[in-house]
Structure 1
Amino acid sequence: MRGIWFLTTLSFGLVAAEDGLNAWLRYARLPDNIIRQAEIPSNIVSLNSTETSPVYVAGLELQKGINGALGKTLDVTHKSNKRSSIVVGTVDAFTAAGGKTNAPELEEDGFWLDTKGKTVQILGQNERGALYGAFEYLSMLAQGNFTKVAYATNPSASIRWVNQWDNMDGTIERGYAGLSIFFKNNTTIANTTRVAEYARLLASIRINGIVANNVNANPITLSDENMAGLGKIADAMRPWGVRLGLSLNFASPQTLGGLSTFDPLDKSVITWWNDQTAKLYKHIPDMAGYLVKANSEGQPGPLTYNRTLAEGANLFAKAIKPYGGIVMFRAFVYDYQNLNESNWKDDRANAAVDHFRHLDDEFDDNIVVQVKYGPIDFQAREPASPLFAHLRNTASAIELQVTQEYLGQQCHLAYLAPLWKTILDFDLRVDGEKSVIGEDVLSGKRFNKTLSGYAAVVNVGQNTTWLGTHLAMSNLYAYGRIAWDPTVDEVVILQDWTRLTYGLNRKVLDTITDMSMQSWEAYENYTGNLGVQTLTDITYNHYGPNPQSMDNNPWGQWTRADSDSIGMDRTVWNGTGFSGQYPSEVAAQFESIETTPDDLLLWFHHVPYTHILKSGKTVIQHFYDAHYDGAETAASFPKKWTSLKGLIDKQRFEEMLFRLEYQAGHAIVWRDSIVQFYNNVSGIPDAAGRVGHHPWRVEAEDMTLHGYRVTGVNPFQAASGFQIVQTTDNSTAASVQTKLDYPSGRYDLAVAYYDLYEGEAKYELFLNDRSLGSWVGDLEHKLGYTLTRGIDGHSATRVTFKDVRIRKGDVVRIETLPNGRETAPLDYIAVLPAGIVD
């Protein structure tokens, strides 16, 4: 519900520095003139006195939130009274205590919020729903919204889970925010404080389940010691209504249980899994279920024994059904060892439908097939997975990714709700009828299902920001909101999150909205567009640019780029046949170049670089322009954020500014790598004359070198001019210098260098003999990205010294001291006039 936001004429005091731990649950004190408009009952009635009850913690949360936002201390009692109260509990508990309500019949986890009378009613269909209602009410108050409302809301789907990819040793696969809050040294952690704090965050966005361990599961998770530890984790999350699930390794009966087989039809295997399930439920009586990744990327599974995927999934479904559990079975199944790019028909995108389309009637009714939103792997843009149209009888859930694996690994701002909406709003037109993925399919309405929903890879860590950077938390918040209601507007979500996280100042709200809503498109532009996928290093760490790695690999994420053309032909008539996996109306659209939207052209069609897009540009010129546009947008982010100085607490302001400045530099690394590569491959010049033309740069190899040598890099496009300099050894001080031949004036000086893992080289920049500043190659400690030892697009970065007065003929010098594996590599110095992005 929307209210009147008091944003324009207020004077806001600054809060103390914040570390991000409270995320959007800060309950920051509102300005006095807003507080005076609040009409709050005099006490809180929580209709359950059991301390582990979601209703009990809802009462305490209401007390905490109202005290924080409004400065009012309300007592919490557990029996209804005749005073003006905030009552929180289930509908049944409220009516049993003599209360009267206009609440309609609610669905599971739904709630009723009524603030119109003297008593505020927060009533859930169950206790979890009541807790969700309490958070809804607090969200309104924390945003200064005192509108009188009376409404019910129900979830769009029953499954709203997060998947953590935490390893038992405490590391996190694709985690960019420190070590696990769940595991350490192959066992569970003893202190569950952060676990409970995480559950609180999840409950506030109505997430009702979590799988804490990696889908690439370690069998040791099922040891007796770890089962007991998992029980304690579940205990910490239970008061917040978050149920614990578990990823399983299919081969555990053999590798952990000592059996000679893990054949899902073998009686000893069936008995073993039944016994393990019974033991788990003794420790976790309300365990949500299992998550299984089988026969994908080297993981064991039923295909090993020529059993079907359904037979493998049903093994777990039967074991867990007596306890009310479900099995989330991932559709991410493909054989990366036998894909051959030279075979025009081979296509990893076909795998999910090929594996599952004939099994729709064979899965037990407590199995949910968990389908990635696109057919490949969390790319910046993909078409919606056609598998959703084939699972008419089998429950399905969509898999999204909050952790930014291919999308800048939390080092790049990328608000992902607009990306997710392209999938959720897509109409599959099954049998020619409306079949919108979010509204119709995942809700269960289209195929009359009661079991369906959402799962998101989240990967929070021990970093106080949870995800490694403050603005990335908008994605976790947005995921919860969208899983509850996929029709909600992404801007509304973002602005609610911003007010809760940064306060009510209009300039802060507008600036974060502006940056965030540009961020996904900008990232797509400077990484890979037209549906070509994110042109990262597919064979390594999925972070920096490496377009040449996208082809000639067994992983199936190909562009099929050559000197004349680019794109995957996925048509039925001439290509891999993928377009034919969609229902007929959608298949016909994607089969034709004329009706395929430009933003997915190279996903479905192989075309010449000179192909004319609907925009009137050629494919190659669009590539050039988009990459320059995207980098320019990223370059605007630090300036926009800087305009908020004094309006955001110092700690979060400075930490976010550092990452935005890093992103601005790395976006240029991306831009240059991609345009240089395709310029080299195609031989077609940039009509604007930008590619390979950098009048504001001085290449390091053209400077006077002391203790440095000139080398190439691999991949070649990861360096401006295809060459760099690095020190001749790893222990002696070195330097480069050059005389500047630019008109006198004020410039920004940017130094492009490479920051490698296992070394912290030191750098200092001088203008004539005056030091402009120094820095250390220590990004491995400041950023959470996947580390690299190579001089490449992952390690390439820039540092910028702003507004430096330069006279023609001045000498710039960089003095360095290599360290460890880091030979103080340098690429160039850019001398940038105002408004130039290079």
Structure 2
Amino acid sequence: MRLSILFSLPLLNVASAEDGSQGWLRYAPIANANDYITVPSRVVALNVTRGSPVYTAQQELERGIKGIFGKQLETNSSVTSNSSAIIVGTLDAYRAAYGDLEDVGDLLDDGFFLSTEGLSVIIVGNNERGVLYGAFEYLSRLAQGRFLPISTMYNPQAPIRWTNEWNNLDGSIERGYAGPSIFFRDGFVVDNVTRVSGYARLLASIRVNGIVINNVNANATLLNDRNLQGLGRLADAMRPYGIQLGISLNFASPQDFGGLPSFDPLDPKVDAWWANITDEVYKRVPDMAGYLVKANSEGQPGPLTYNRTLADGANMFARAVKPHGGLVMFRAFVYDNHISPANWTADRANAAVDFFQHLDGKFDENVVVQIKYGAIDFQVREPANPLFSTLRNTSTSIELQITPEYFGQNDHLVYLGPLWKEILETDMRADSRPSKIKDIVSGIRFKRPLGGYAGVSGVGTNATWLGSHLAMSNLYAYGRLAWDASQDAEDVLQDWIRLTFGFDEQVMEIITDMSMKSWPAYENYSGNLGIQTLTDILYTHFGPNPASQDNNGWGQWTRADKVSIGMDRTVKNGTGNAGQYSPELASMYENIETTPDNLLLWFHHVPYTQRLKSNKTVIQHFYDAHYEGAATAQKFVEQWESLKGKVDEERYENVLFEQKFQAGHALVWRDSINQFYYNLSEIPDVAKRVGNHPYRIEAEKMSLSGYQFCAVNPFHTASGAMAIVTTSNTTTGTATANITFASGRYDIAVNYFDLIGGRAKYQLDVGNQTVGRWIGDNEDKLGHAPSIYLDGHSATRITFKGVDVRQGDVVRITGQANGNEPAPLDYISFLPPGIVD
């Protein structure tokens, strides 16, 4: 574990309640900080115009120094040789005012130089955006107590560092878990752009330079006059932070919105229409970054409709934006979602290479092909997309998902930095030479002029931006790694912790440990050995439903049957996906003996009794991993509880609620997946845990009044495949049972189903004492896509600690239905100390 605070700084008292709106830019006071460093008392901003990034840098420095040191900076236009100041400006402006800087080498676009070694602090950038980045870097170092003098040049490894916001014009956000859009409402761009400015500030601090504001499943009415005016308003709000606006386009806009008879990219009238509308966009947004296009995927229109190539489509947009200096990000997420599962050689994972390999070199120079990190869809474990090493003559970017669609939707703690690092460090061995993905997307490996990063963010109006305080580590890590992918994911995390929660060593240790264990834990209890995340792909992508993967056209198949599991992606017997990689990787993946265990079921179809390198069978690994992952999630609760009094109360309680939810939902995942594969394979767990729950009282086995039985679908998302619901949506029901467990102190856990569309009320009584009351109101507290069904999405657990229980007492749950929620119950567990369930 890395603990790298440079000084042992005195701690202030725990801060007053914080809502998370400042993210990592809190600029919290540091006690006696002036004893460790002397900060100049004035700031000099060169070549500054109001609203420019240099002006913003000056304002940010004033704000940050006041917050950290309690000192108000003076503003001066110059500084004499014997006085000190924080000098900020472009390199050209600095040279004009003060002469050359000896230590500055070649600064790239957005690059900057920071020196704190002399009398003055010098922050210069290649451009104005670089100046702002330098100011944020200086403030970040101060806020973390990194006071050692430095003179360092910072250059980006990739020119494109954008976020993709999947916002819809009605204000909803596809795969967003933090409330409605900050950009749109009721079909139009919002009038109040204050929160947009706040988001731009956060992104600039981590050196993101562009935002595509609308969903890739784009609505053509974005191009109407009112919205074009709105785009100008948004761009004005982001420009002071050096953030360029981009938009997603609907390929069929010339027909659906423009009234043309077609949207054929080789039709001169269509080409001219796009050129004209692009001119109109740039009139409102002269510095627009460019367009993002999703075409011919998941039902979206595109050039294939007219038997044109994807390059024909991309180049049409490239011609339109080229006179304005714009880019086209063209998504490689192109596949047929109606492929036949009966075809053993069919494979959605082959689609990217199949669609794009013959087009290499046929895209215009201002086109960048945007490639998802894996070949399926942001899964918990995928090999790197083979398209990265296939396109040698085309600029590429990597698409990462900050909003964790398949990773618990910000209601499960999953720090994604280690996953991204693993992908970025993957060596694709193109031409048997080092070909790490971070070097491919930067443009270095294949000497391409452009390249970089697209992060699907999903910020909303929730004060925490992403719907969870701890999830903000992913947004922070995205920006840091997009700038410099060589950074260590744990070091980046710890920078974020210091900036967000302060310097307490226990806070640092606990959040670091939880975060670094979170991805492996989630992988263990959701899906392992490369089988993908076994979530419900046909509904909300949140809870477990392994059966949903197969026997449909979406191609996220597991090929599980009674005796075997896994996709055969070999060249010899399967889909040939292994052969899309370079010869060195293809040889490794083709051979079951050399395929890493964590990708075994991605590349090979094997019996459940197949031995892994650990000597466990596949099925026993499933059982054990799901128990291990869920057990880790339980420990997160205890770890976070140890920080009471060290984290402000508002954030402490918010995170505690989420960790308790995750701990309970991890058990739902554990039991659901294990029960499903036990039923399918009929192979018992050697540890005799699966299906064996001696501490539970099933709700359907209790004495019921006002309640009735209800079969749950999928069956494995309820203990015993059954639940109880009230006999009507207005009924109050009771479920009672005699306690047969020995007298003692127990934790009592109740598993129930929290549906959207109602807020049922519950009461738990044991003997003559009321243990607790609660409301089924997760839709008000959690950000995940909710469910209207009794299933793995709505399954929830609440636990009451340290309840004194006497054998023979009656346990009673009273449920009062509300709206569409019939107070559903699954089971009650009486857990002795140290027992999870």
Q: Is the pair's TM-score, using the shorter chain for normalization, greater than 0.5? A: yes
Contact 1:161 1:456 in 2 (8 A): yes
**TM-aligned CA deviation for residue 233 of structure 1:** 0.1
1:804 to partner: Cα distance: 1.1
Which deviates the most, 512-521 or 79-88? 79-88
Q: Deviations over 1:777-836 (max 9, x none)?
A: 111111111121110000000111111121222221111110111111100001112221
Give the distance between the partners of 2:328 and 2:78, measured in 1 at CA: 40
TM-score normalised by length of structure 1: 0.99
Judge conservation of contact 1:370–1:398 (CA < 8 Å) in 2: yes
Superposition map of 1:226-241 within 5 A: 226-241=227-242
SS at match of 1:269: helix
Partner of 1:121: 122
Q: 1-side partners of 2:38 and 2:733: how far apart?
A: 68
Residue aligning to 2:639 = 640
Classify 1:373/1:148 alpha carbon distance in 2 versus 1 (closer, same or farther; 3 Å).
same
Relative to structure 2, which stretch is displaced further, 264-273 or 100-109?
100-109
Whether contact under 8 Å (2:44, 2:87) holds in the other structure is yes
Query: Secondary structure of the residue that 2:166 maps to in structure 1?
Result: strand
Question: What is the 5 A alignment of 1:289-328?
Answer: 289-328=290-329
Report the AA paired with residue 368 of structure 2: V
1:742 CA drift (Å): 1.6
Does the 8 Å contact 2:48/2:89 carry over to 1?
A: no
| Counterpart in the other structure of 2:147 | 146
1:756 — aligned with what? 755
Question: d(CA) in 1 for partners of 2:553 and 2:587?
Answer: 29
The structural deviation recorded for 1:8 is: 6.0
Please state how far the C-alpha of 1:621 moved relative to its aligned partner: 0.2
The yes-or-no answer on 1:771 pairing with 2:770 is: yes
Letter in 2 for 1:122: I
Q: Does structure 1 residue 601 correspond to structure 2 residue 614?
A: no
1:4–1:145: 8 Å Cα contact kept in structure 2?
no
Alignment correspondent of 1:459: 458
Q: What amino acid does structure 2 have at the position aligned with 1:38?
A: I
Once the two structures are TM-superposed, the CA of residue 9 in structure 1 deviates from its matched residue by 7.6
CA positional deviation for 1:370:
0.1
2: CA distance, partners of 1:144 / 1:746: 46
Alignment of 1:538 onto 2:537: yes
- CA distance in 1: counterparts of 2:400 and 2:3, whole angstroms: 31
Q: Does 1:353 align with 2:353?
A: yes
8 A Cα contact 2:254 2:262, kept in partner: yes
- 1:266 maps to what in 2? 267
Deviation at 1:769, TM superposition (A): 2.4
SS of 2:165 mapped into structure 1: strand
Query: Per-residue deviation at 1:421?
Result: 1.2
In structure 1, C-alpha distance between the alignment counterparts of 2:187 and 2:394, rounded to whole Å? 35
Letter in 2 for 1:188: V
TM alignment of 1:315-714, pairs within 5 A: 315-337=316-338, 339-438=339-438, 440-714=439-713
Write the distance in 2 (CA, Å) between the matches of 1:543 and 1:522.
16
1:61-100 Cα shifts (integer Å, max 9, x gaps): 0111011011111112333443201111111110111244
How many residue pairs were aligned?
834
Q: Which residue of 1 aligns with 2:173?
A: 172
Kept after mapping to 2: 8 A contact 1:48/1:78 = no
Shift of 1:406: 0.5
Q: Secondary structure at the match of 1:752?
A: strand
| Contact residue 158 and residue 450 of structure 1 kept, 8 A | no
> Is the contact between residue 744 and residue 807 of structure 1 (CA under 8 Å) also seen in structure 2?
yes
Amino acid at match of 2:747: D
Q: Is the 8 A contact 2:165 2:211 kept in 1?
A: yes
Residue 387 of structure 1 aligns with an amino acid whose one-letter code is L
Question: Within 1, Cα distance between the matches of 2:251 and 2:78?
Answer: 49
Gaps of at least 5 residues in structure 2 are none
Structure 1 residue 6 displacement after superposition: 6.0
1:450 shift after superposition: 2.2
Separation in 2 of the partners of 1:55 and 1:807? 70
What displacement does 1:432 show? 0.3
- Describe the superposition over 1:1-34 as per-residue Cα deviations: whole angstroms up to 9, x where unpaired: x9962676844301110000000000001122x4
Provide closer, same or farther for how the CA distance between residues 811 and 393 of structure 1 changes in structure 2, counting only shifts above 3 A: same
Letter in 2 for 1:682: S
In the alignment, residue 300 of structure 2 is paired with which amino acid? Q
| Range with bigger deviation, 720-729 or 627-636 | 720-729
Helix, strand or coil: the match of 1:735?
Answer: strand
Whether the aligned pair in 2 keeps the contact of 1:571 and 1:580 (CA below 8 Å) is: yes
For residues 734-779 of structure 1, the C-alpha deviation after alignment (integer angstroms, 9 at most, x for no partner) is 1111122222222111000000011111001111121111111111
**Separation in 2 of the partners of 1:240 and 1:161?**
14
SS of the residue 1:709 aligns to: strand
SS of structure 1 residue aligned to 2:158: coil
> One-letter code of the match for 1:5?
I
Distance 2:7 2:756 in 1: 45
SS of the residue aligned with 1:165? coil
Alignment of 1:247-286 (within 5 A): 247-286=248-287
Instruction: Describe the SS at the equivalent of 1:422.
Output: helix
TM-score, normalization: structure 2? 0.99
For 2:645 and 2:611, locate their aligned partners in 1 and report how far apart those are by CA, in whole Å.
Answer: 48
Q: Deviations over 1:681-740 (max 9, x none)?
A: 000000000000001111111111111112211111011011111111111211111122
Question: Who is 2:198 aligned against?
Answer: 197
Please list the CA deviations of residues 407-456 of structure 1 after superposition, one character each: whole Å capped at 9, or x if unmatched. Answer: 00010000001111111010000000000111x21221110122000001
Contact 2:91 2:124 in 1 (8 A): yes
- Structure 2 partner of 1:796: 795
| Separation in 1, partners of 2:119, 2:5 | 23
3-state DSSP of counterpart to 1:213: coil
| CA deviation map 1:469-512 (0-9, x unaligned) | 00000000000000011110000000000000000000000000
Percent of aligned pairs sharing the same letter: 60
Checking the alignment, whether the CA contact within 8 Å between 1:8 and 1:505 is kept in structure 2 is no
Is the CA contact (8 Å cut-off) linking 1:6 and 1:504 kept in structure 2? no
Using the alignment, how far apart are the partners of 2:168 and 2:34 within structure 1? 46
Q: Quick check: 2:376–2:556 contact (8 Å CA) kept in 1?
A: yes
Summarize the Cα distance change of 1:56–1:8 in structure 2 as closer, same or farther, 3 Å threshold.
Answer: closer
The aligned amino acid for 2:287 is D
For residues 641 and 821 of structure 2, the distance between their equivalents in structure 1, rounded to whole angstroms, comes to 31
Q: How does 1:35-184 map to 2 (within 5 A)?
A: 35-82=34-81, 83-101=83-101, 102-184=103-185
Counterpart in the other structure of 1:726: 725
The answer (yes or no) to whether the contact 2:11–2:30 under 8 Å persists in 1 is no
Contact in 2 for aligned 1:532/1:602 (Cα 8 Å): yes
CA distance in 2, matches of 1:78, 1:827: 70
For residues 526 and 31 of structure 1, what CA distance do their matches in structure 2 show? 43
Give the letter for the 1:361 counterpart.
G
C-alpha distance in 2 between matches for 1:280 and 1:11: 51
CA RMSD of superposed structures (Å): 1.1
User: How far apart, CA to CA, are the structure 2 residues paired with 1:584 and 1:685?
Assistant: 40
After superposition, give the CA deviation of every residue in 1:226-271 in whole Å (9 maximum; x if it has no partner): 0010011000000100000010000000000011100001111011
**1:699 is matched by which residue type in structure 2?**
E
Question: Residue 254 of structure 1 aligns to a residue in which SS?
Answer: helix
Aligned residues of 2:608 and 2:681 also touching (Cα < 8 A): yes
Partners of 2:3 and 2:111 in 1: how far apart?
22
User: Contact 1:199/1:237 (CA < 8 Å) preserved in 2?
Assistant: yes
Gaps of 5+ in 1: none
**In structure 2, distance between residues paired with 1:7 and 1:812:** 55
Q: Which residue of structure 2 lines up, in the alignment, with residue 813 of structure 1?
A: 812
